[in-house]
Structure 1
Amino acid sequence: MTEHEKNLARAEARHDLHTSRVMSLWDSTIQFSLEALRIAAIVNGGAVVAGIAFVGAVYNTKATLAESLMLPIMAFAAAAASVGVAAGFAYFSQFSFTAAASNYEYTWEHPFVSDTCKSKVWQWIGNALQIVSILTVSAAYAALIYGCHLVYGAVMAARVAPA
């Protein structure tokens, strides 16, 4: 086998390795993203449903408590909505990473796979959207914690308030 043939074999192997790594990362990233979004959506959606059910149950007997629970329910609903927005950002970040990977240049000389201007731009966009998605999910958890704090305050205030 000549040196040229060896180099071609190494290049093809590197191209195949790059493609398989990209596909593997794509699959695992999607699964982790879906789980993170799913958990946040379930927790916040459950908090909204439980809050509305509780307000409905106590409204006739403790209207003040029911009214003071509306702000926490709105915080939970905002958190649930932000999870949906985060899902959109996560989708577009993955789209950008895929576009970056499909715009790499395959060469027949070392390093065999090289960045291009397009791949760098798509990578940057993907990174930016990924950060926005992470911050949006973090905001959802912050709204959940804030809503729980408000619920605690409302329940404690109702407990010490004269009947």
Structure 2
Amino acid sequence: MKGLEIHQKQIEAFSIAAMRAPALVAAGGVAASLGFYSANYSRLAGKSEALDLFNASWAWLLAGLLLTVLAPGIAYFSQLAYSHSIENHEHTWEFPFSTETRRSRIAHRVGNASRWLCVALVLLSIAAVNSGGIKFLHLVATL
């Protein structure tokens, strides 16, 4: 039991880090791109291709930030659904002492769907931040 408890704490720590990392990278990317824009405004003003790349880079970074902000909220709803699932088990004095009810099965399915949606949001966030970084590198190459 102690090993399982330690393992659960590690999973929790890694999941929090996995949701924070893209947010920090996206926020840093937005700040860096704004600094780049203000430092290179005169070079960017005359080039529509460079401005398009800057706007695309910024949009991808902001999308990554938005997805990362949404992920913990979905994870919270997932945990609420799992808690609701456990609360709605029917308890008896005979083996197996606890049985699923229709409400507990529905809540468990909602929890699973929310969990996988959270994973998808984090992965999409990472992909969006990467796309924003690639667009930014293309922008730097055009100047």
- TM range, smaller chain: 0.7 to 0.9
Q: Secondary structure at the residue paired with 1:131?
A: helix
Cα offset, 1:33, TM superposition: 3.6
1:98 corresponds to 2:80: no
Shift of 1:76: 0.2
Task: Structure 1 unaligned segments of length 5 or more: list them.
Answer: 1-16, 159-163
Query: Which residue pairs with 1:146 in the alignment?
Result: 131
TM-score for both structures, normalised by structure 2: 0.82
Preserved CA contact (<8 Å) 1:100 1:123: yes
Give the one of 13, 25, 41 matched to 1:43: 25
The answer to whether the Cα contact below 8 Å between 1:58 and 1:66 also exists between their aligned partners in 2 is: no
User: Is 1:59 equivalent to 2:41 in the alignment?
Assistant: yes
What residue identity is the alignment partner of 1:84?
V
TM-score by length of 1: 0.73
Q: Report the residue type matching 1:99 in the other structure.
A: H
1:70 aligns with 2:26: no
Higher relative CO (CA 8 A, sep ≥ 6), structure 1 or 2? 2
Give the aligned partner of residue 92 of structure 2.
107
By how many angstroms is 1:100 displaced? 0.8
Shift in Å, 1:106:
2.4
Question: Residue 64 of structure 2 contacts residue 129 of structure 2 at CA under 8 Å; is this kept in 1?
Answer: yes
**Higher Cα radius of gyration:** 1
- Counterpart of 1:37 in structure 2: which amino acid? M
Worse-superposed segment, 132-141 or 119-128:
132-141
From the superposition, tell whether residues 29 and 112 of structure 1 become closer, same or farther in structure 2 (CA, over 3 Å): farther
Deviates more, 1:120-129 or 1:80-89: 80-89
The corresponding residue for 1:131 is 116
Contact 1:79–1:139 (CA under 8 A) maintained in structure 2 = yes
> What do you get for the CA RMSD once the two structures are aligned?
2.5
In 2, Cα distance between equivalents of 1:30 and 1:115 = 26
CA distance in structure 1 between the partners assigned to 2:50 and 2:33 by the alignment: 9
Which letter does structure 2 place at the counterpart of 1:57?
A: A
1:3 corresponds in structure 2 to none
Percent of residue pairs identical: 29
